[in-house]
Amino acid sequence: MPDLPPLEPGKRPDEAVAKGRPNEETSPIVLELRKVTCAYEAGRPAISDISLCARKGDILCLLGPSGCGKTTTLRVIAGFEPVIGGEVYLQDQLVSAAGLLVPTEERRVGMVFQEYALFPHLRVAENIAFGLRHLSADQRTTQVHAMLAMTGLIGFERRYPHELSGGQQQRVALARALAQKPVILLLDEPFSNLDPDMTGKMRQDLHDLLRRTNTTAILVTHDHDEAFAMADRVAVLNNGRLEQFDTPEAIYHMPSTPFVADFVGQADFIPGIVENGKVLTEIGEFPNQAGYQGGARVVVMIRPDDIHVIPAENCTARILARQFRGSENLYMIGLPSGRVVHSSEASTSVYPIGTPVELQIVATHTVLFDRDANPRSST
Ligand code: ADP
Ligand code: MG
């Protein structure tokens, strides 16, 4: 779970932090997708009605489960796939629409794929220089050197890709893409081939590099921790549709659909009924922030960080299981109805299975949904 600063009362969590973001809302828009639809087979769109935009220097993440359309969205932006509906603009130029496809080589997009796609028979420096044939030899040498320095690859220029670690290969792929001064950098699951021990450091390095070079980037990932760590804004995709496009904080605290709530972190969904301006549930009352009418059947989404347990005799809720996660204990709590909720406790709070507990709810980021919206049915 991300550590978030305490919220100022009355502020949306994203507002509380948005001011600290380096990209002013005044930066020029580099990329815009308007209601983009792309289909590999007639009548079966892989992505539908996707709208999003990136400003200069923004890092966007496309987040969602396998098959939701992340790679397709990148391929559309790169000009590898035509669209059947909607428009793509790069720096205010229309590059894709039904019947229009500006070729990839005219788009100035940089790409880093999952497998890096380095040329195995070319040395590091030659790989980086590959797209720079339009420059003079001197300019090319200077540019390659600048890229080697920027990505920490000085000393490796004469190696072949197979003589490098996964992380170094990734840096060559980045250097090769950035050498061409792309208007936007597209990265498809760039950490998936790396040793998990290394991904934390590599994420930080990539984030620093993108910020230092004020590079606009779209990064694809199925990992919400990665999206939260990297992105200024996250686009959550599900079944080819955009469910939410927002800051990481808003995605986590104010998911706009049950799918998003469930995909980006542990969430429990507790049925409730609206009565006298409150939502009544088996674990207590919640504010009716969304203003549902009396009698409305809703579900309350609650995160484990907002449920605390206190061992107490004569309580009907019981601890069913404990997962030790290092910095926390995640408890599964059985309610009398048979429903299960989760509670995050300090790593030192260890209670035996079966302990009767009282639940204390700190409802800082509960969200209400219609009862009929089932999070798992949409996956
Ligand atoms: P993701 O990158 O999120 O895993 P993709 O964009 O690769 O998802 O795929 C989205 C959907 O399009 C999936 O249903 C996938 O099976 C389908 N798809 C992807 N590539 C092709 C292709 N070349 N031909 C036909 N269908 C494809
Ligand atoms: Mg993919």
DSSP string, 287-320: E-TT-PPTT-EEEEEE-GGGEEEEE-TT-SEEEE
> Which ligand 1 atom sits nearest the alpha carbon of residue 189?
2
Q: By the 8 A CB rule, do 201 and 170 touch?
A: no
Q: Is the CB of 221 under 6 A from ligand 1?
A: no
CA distances from 227 to 62, 233, 264, 377 (A): 8, 9, 9, 23
> Distance, CA 325 to ligand 2 centroid (Å)?
29
**Residues 36, 32: Cα–Cα separation, whole Å:** 10
Beta-strand pair 356-361/307-311 = antiparallel
Pocket test for ligand 1, best of 36, 38, 40, 218 (most atoms within 8 A of CB): 40
What region does 142 belong to: left with phi over 0, alpha with psi -120 to 50, or beta?
A: alpha
Rounded to 10°, the helix 137-150/166-179 angle is: 140
Residue with the smallest CA separation from ligand 1 atom 15 is 67
User: What is the pLDDT, as a whole number, of residue 373?
Assistant: 57
311 CB under 6 A from ligand 1?
no
64 Cα: distance to centroid of ligand 2 (angstroms): 10
Q: DSSP class of residue 340?
A: E
**Predicted pLDDT of residue 193:** 75
> Which is nearest to 190 in space by CA: 227, 219, 225, 229?
219
Q: How far is the CA of 181 from the centre of ligand 2 (A)?
A: 24
Query: How far does residue 67's CA lie from ligand 2's centre (Å)?
Result: 7
Q: What is the end-to-end Cα distance of the chain in Å, rounded?
A: 22
Alpha-helical regions (H) of 19-100: 70-78
| The pLDDT of residue 191 | 85
Note down pLDDT in tens along the chain; length 379 residues: 344 444 444 444 444 444 445 556 789 999 999 999 999 999 999 999 999 999 999 999 999 999 999 999 999 999 999 999 999 999 999 999 999 999 999 999 999 987 778 999 999 999 999 989 889 999 999 999 999 998 889 999 999 999 998 889 989 999 999 998 999 999 999 888 777 777 888 889 899 999 999 999 999 999 999 999 999 999 999 999 999 999 999 999 999 999 999 999 999 999 999 999 999 999 999 999 888 999 999 999 999 999 999 999 999 999 999 999 999 999 999 999 999 999 999 999 999 999 999 999 987 778 999 886 554 433 3
**Which residues, 6 or more positions from 114, have their beta carbon under 8 angstroms from its beta carbon?**
188, 189, 190, 192, 193
Q: Please work out whether the CB of residue 45 comes within 6 Å of at least one atom of ligand 1.
A: no
Phi, psi of 107 (to 5 degrees): -95, -20
Q: Do the beta carbons of residue 368 and residue 298 sit within 8 Å?
A: yes
Could you say which DSSP state residue 318 is in? Answer: E
pLDDT at 200: 85
Residue 321, both tokens: 């299981």
pLDDT value, residue 81: 97
Check if 72 has its Cβ closer than 6 Å to any atom of ligand 1: yes
Q: What is the CA radius of gyration of the chain?
A: 24
Three-state DSSP class for residue 23: coil
Which residue's CA lies nearest to atom 22 of ligand 1? Answer: 40
What does pTM read for this prediction?
0.86
Residue pointed to by tokens 């039904």: 98
| Beta pairing, strands 217-221 & 59-63 | parallel
Of how many residues is the chain composed? 379
pLDDT at 131: 84
Residue 86 in contact with residue 94, Cβ under 8 Å? no
Which pLDDT score, from 0 to 100, does residue 377 have? 38
The answer to whether 38 and 72 have CB atoms below 8 angstroms apart is: yes
Cβ–ligand 1 contact at 48 (below 6 Å): no
CA of 76 to the centre of ligand 1 (A): 12
CA–CA distance, 249 with 22 (Å, rounded to integer): 16
- Check if the beta carbon of residue 240 is closer than 8 Å to that of residue 48: yes
Please report the sign of the dihedral spanned by the C-alpha atoms of residue 138, residue 140, residue 146, residue 151.
negative
**Which residue of 50, 71, 114, 186 sits with most ligand 1 atoms within 8 Å of its CB, as the best mutation to test the pocket?**
71
Residues sharing a CB contact under 8 Å with residue 131, sequence separation 6 or more, in sequence order? 176, 179, 180
